């Protein structure tokens, strides 16, 4: 019998990292001598891998600039973390929801545009690293919405598409889950509005983490 897998996005779903993300985007653009993008535009690319995110923010720029901006973003984030200034608090209710899911027999996983190192540090900060049986990041997969991360997570967790729920806050998460044959469950406390999550394939959009377990039955 296949395991049930609750597969979470990280930024905007498990943790509220937007302040740190905005600071690093603005730093990367400043180093390139560019004005910072509008923060609403920056919110819309959260969840993508870094180079595709920069491509979306600067669609007319050369690929070399997209790559440089992505590298400068990573450098800015490392500096911020080294100074102890990265802010990635758990959203209210997430810890309790993870407890409830595990008690109900769900296995937990993460599929994120973060790097391996960034995800590991984030989860360890909250004492959650060992709770997740599978961790999929942008270091080893194509950017969302390609289904590679979900497929690998299901393989590692011995789950099937019919027993997997992809939980996220962006249309990229929803499209990725649908492309892998999983159910896609949206959350409205992140970066994309609920109507966009529905349009991308979400069967439901939760207003609070406490709704997730019931919505997954």
Would you list the DSSP string of 1-49? -PEEEEEE-SBTTTB--HHHHHHHHHHHHHHTT-PPPPHHHHHHHBTB-
Q: Which domains does the chain have, with CATH numbers?
A: 3-16+88-215 (3.40.50.1000), 18-82 (1.10.150)
The pTM for the full model equals 0.94
Q: Counting beta carbons within 10 angstroms of the beta carbon of residue 213, is it exposed (0 to 12), middle (13 to 18) or buried (19 or more)?
A: middle
Give yes or no for residue 141 having a pLDDT over 90: yes
- β-strand pairing of 204-206 with 183-187: parallel
User: Residue 18 — pLDDT band, cuts 50, 70, 90?
Assistant: very high
Q: What tokens does 179 get?
A: 């492309």
> Which residues neighbour 35 within 8 Å (Cβ) at sequence distance 6 or greater?
29
Residue with tokens 């967790």: 157
Q: What is the mean pLDDT of residues 117-145?
A: 96
Q: What tens digit of pLDDT does each residue of 185-204 get?
A: 999 999 999 999 999 999 99
Q: What tens digit of pLDDT does each residue of 76-112 get?
A: 999 999 999 999 999 999 999 999 999 999 999 999 9
Give yes or no for residue 1 having a pLDDT over 90: no
Would you list the DSSP string of 106-157? -EEEEE-SS-HHHHHHHHHHTT-GGG-SEEE-TTSSPPTTSTHHHHHHHHHH
**Would you tell me how many other CB atoms lie within 10 Å of the CB of residue 151?**
20
Q: What tens digit of pLDDT does each residue of 7-16 get?
A: 999 999 999 9
Give yes or no for residue 148 having a pLDDT over 90: yes
pLDDT of 41 reads: 95
């Amino acid at each position: 019998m296949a395991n049930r897998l609750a597969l979470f996005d990280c930024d905007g779903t498990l943790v509220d990292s937007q302040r740190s993300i905005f600071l690093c985007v603005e730093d990367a653009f400043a180093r390139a001598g560019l004005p910072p993008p509008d923060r609403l535009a920056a919110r819309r690319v959260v969840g993508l891998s870094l180079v595709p995110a920069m491509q979306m923010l600067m669609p007319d720029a050369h690929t070399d600039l997209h790559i440089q901006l992505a590298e400068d973003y990573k450098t800015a984030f490392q500096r911020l973390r080294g100074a102890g200034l990265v802010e990635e608090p758990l959203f209210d209710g997430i810890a309790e929801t993870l407890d409830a899911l595990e008690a109900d027999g769900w296995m937990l996983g993460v599929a994120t545009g973060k790097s391996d190192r960034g995800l590991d540090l984030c989860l360890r900060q909250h004492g959650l690293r060992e709770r997740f049986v599978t961790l999929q990041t942008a270091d080893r997969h194509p950017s969302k919405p390609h289904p590679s991360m979900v497929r690998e997570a299901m393989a590692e967790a011995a789950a099937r598409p019919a027993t997997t729920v992809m939980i996220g806050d962006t249309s990229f998460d929803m499209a990725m889950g649908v492309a892998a044959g999983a159910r896609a469950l949206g959350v409205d406390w992140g970066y994309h509005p609920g109507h966009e999550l529905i349009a991308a394939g979400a069967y439901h959009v939760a207003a609070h983490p406490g709704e997730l377990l019931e919505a997954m039955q």
